[in-house]
């Protein structure tokens, strides 16, 4: 079939003509390149498969590099659209927000892949979770399943890895940083109808079990150790910060996504990929956090 579906891009170019347009990226004339890149970007999402095919079929490093830049621009634009929609309409779906952020590194990642994996983890946990009544006993049982049966653990040997902030990689490797491990744990706990939520502590993301019956805290990065409000008091004293309600109370999904982005910034800086920081600042701006000065 020769005709490419590009109705959304308002173009009548055939697939053959689109491929010819992409091939012009080999031209070294700056004016030609500028025109071609502008035309490709105006076509948008429908041309992405052809760009990927051209990259795969080319042995020209210069062409491949130019295609990579255009692909990233197109895919980043799609990411921003999805994130804006999440911010405005879907903040109750944490997994979807985490999926959108993961497409920054893995643009072909499908949301349903993550849904299936979380559902599988929930089912494996649910099977071993029956007949436990007391809240602390429930968390201890969940700890046993999460860390021993399912094999999740802190990625202490590669703490600054970018993949620690990518939900798909955390589910695959079963290793993560404080917030990514806690988020997976929380998603499972909430499916089990446990009142478990995130808490934005300075330099450490933990969970809170908050109910009328009992409130306590969980450090997932430390194999689910249970601790009290007094422990948070002591922690704040050690790092010389005043008490603040935000350090003791559940945070929302928006705060979690913002924190993931901040962790991702640190990871890219540690990996000497600071050129990615401006894009992450754009994503934070979409989530309502504007960073004007950053050393």
> Pick the residue with more confidence: 49 or 260?
260
Instruction: Write down the pLDDT at residue 213.
Output: 87
162: helix, coil or strand? helix
Domain boundary among 89, 104, 129: 89
What is the rounded distance in angstroms from the CA atom of residue 244 to the CA atom of residue 247?
6
pLDDT at 261: 97
- 232 and 201 in contact (C-beta within 8 Å)? yes
Q: Rounded to an integer, what distance in angstroms lies between the CA atom of residue 266 and that of residue 58?
A: 35
* Cα–Cα dist 87/90, whole Å: 6
DSSP for 187-248? HHHHHTT--EEEEEETTEEEEEEE-SS-EEEEEGGGTTEEE-HHHHHHHHHHTT----GGGT
Considering the domain architecture, whether residues 112 and 142 belong to the same structural domain is answered as yes
Round the average pLDDT of the chain to a whole number and report it: 91
How is the chain split among helix, strand and coil, in percent rounded to 5?
Answer: 60, 10, 30
Instruction: Specify whether the CB–CB gap between 180 and 165 falls below 8 A.
Output: yes
Q: Which of 61, 98, 68 is nearest to 82 (CA)?
A: 98
Q: Which of these ranges, 24-33, 133-142, 159-168, 249-258, has the smallest mean pLDDT?
A: 24-33
Instruction: Identify whether residues 99 and 234 lie together within a single domain.
Output: yes
Identify whether residues 68 and 98 lie together within a single domain: no
Residue pointed to by tokens 């308002």: 10
Q: Give the domain CATH number at 167.
A: 3.10.620
Q: In Å, what is the CA distance from 253 to each residue of 22, 172, 198, 203, 204?
A: 40, 22, 8, 18, 16
How far apart (Å, rounded) are the C-alpha atoms in residues 218 and 18?
Answer: 54
How does pLDDT run across 1-13, given as a tens digit for each residue? 333 343 444 456 7
Q: Which residue has the higher pLDDT, 56 or 234?
A: 234
Q: What is the DSSP letter of 14?
A: B
Domain count, the chain: 2
pLDDT at 139 > cutoff 80 = yes
Highest mean pLDDT, choosing among 29-38, 145-154, 283-292:
145-154
C-alpha to C-alpha distance for 25 and 32, rounded to whole angstroms? 8
Residue 2 lies in a domain: no
Q: Please check the confidence at residue 295 and state whether its pLDDT lies above 60.
A: no
Query: In this predicted model, what pLDDT tens digit does every residue of 265-278 receive, in sequence order?
Result: 999 999 999 999 99
- The per-residue pLDDT for 11 is 56
**Full domain range(s) for residue 73:** 7-89
Last-in-domain residue among 89, 120, 155: 89
Per-residue model confidence (pLDDT) at position 8: 40
Render the burial of 88-115: b for 16+ CB within 10 Å, e for the rest: eeeeeebbbbbbbbbbbeebebebeebe
Q: Above 70 in pLDDT, residue 156?
A: yes
Is residue 209's pLDDT more than 70? yes
Whether residues 61 and 134 share a domain: the answer is no
Same domain, 164 and 227: yes
Within a domain: residue 293? no
Q: Is residue 52 part of a domain?
A: yes
28, 58, 89 — which closes off a domain? 89
Share of the chain above pLDDT 70, in %: 95
Average pLDDT, integer, range 144-158: 96
Same domain, 179 and 108: yes
Query: Which pair of structure tokens corresponds to residue 129?
Result: 């979770």
Q: How far apart are CA 281 and CA 271, in angstroms?
A: 17
Residue 219 lies in a domain: yes
**How confident is the model at residue 246, as a pLDDT?**
95
* Position with higher pLDDT, 95 vs 55: 95
124: pLDDT strictly greater than 60? yes
pLDDT at 6: 38
Q: What's the pLDDT at 136?
A: 95
């Amino acid at each position: 079939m020769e005709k490419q579906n590009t109705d959304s891009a308002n173009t009548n170019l055939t697939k053959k003509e689109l491929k010819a347009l992409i091939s012009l990226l080999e031209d070294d004339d700056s004016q030609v390149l500028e025109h071609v890149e502008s035309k490709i970007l105006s076509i948008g999402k429908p041309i992405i498969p052809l760009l990927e095919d051209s990259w795969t079929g080319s042995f020209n490093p210069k062409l491949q590099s130019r295609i990579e830049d255009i692909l990233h621009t197109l895919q980043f634009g799609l990411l921003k659209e999805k994130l804006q929609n999440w911010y405005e309409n879907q903040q109750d779906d944490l997994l979807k927000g985490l999926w959108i952020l993961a497409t920054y590194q893995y643009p072909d990642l499908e949301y349903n892949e993550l849904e299936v994996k979380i559902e599988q983890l929930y089912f494996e946990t649910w099977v071993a979770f029956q007949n436990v009544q007391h809240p602390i006993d429930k968390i201890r049982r969940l700890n046993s399943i999460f860390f021993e049966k399912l094999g999740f653990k802190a990625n202490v040997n590669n703490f600054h890895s970018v993949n620690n902030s990518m939900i798909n990689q955390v589910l695959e490797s079963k290793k993560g940083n404080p917030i990514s491990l806690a988020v997976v744990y929380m998603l499972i706990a909430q499916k089990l109808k446990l009142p478990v939520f995130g808490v934005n502590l300075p330099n450490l993301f933990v969970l809170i079990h908050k109910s009328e019956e009992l409130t306590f805290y969980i450090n997932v990065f430390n194999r689910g150790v249970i601790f009290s409000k007094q422990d948070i008091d002591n922690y704040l004293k050690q790092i010389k910060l005043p008490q603040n309600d935000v350090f003791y109370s559940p945070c929302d999904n928006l705060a979690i996504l913002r924190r993931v982005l901040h962790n991702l910034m640190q990871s890219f800086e540690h990996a000497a990929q600071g050129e990615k920081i401006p894009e992450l600042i754009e994503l934070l701006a979409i989530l309502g956090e504007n960073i004007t000065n950053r050393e």
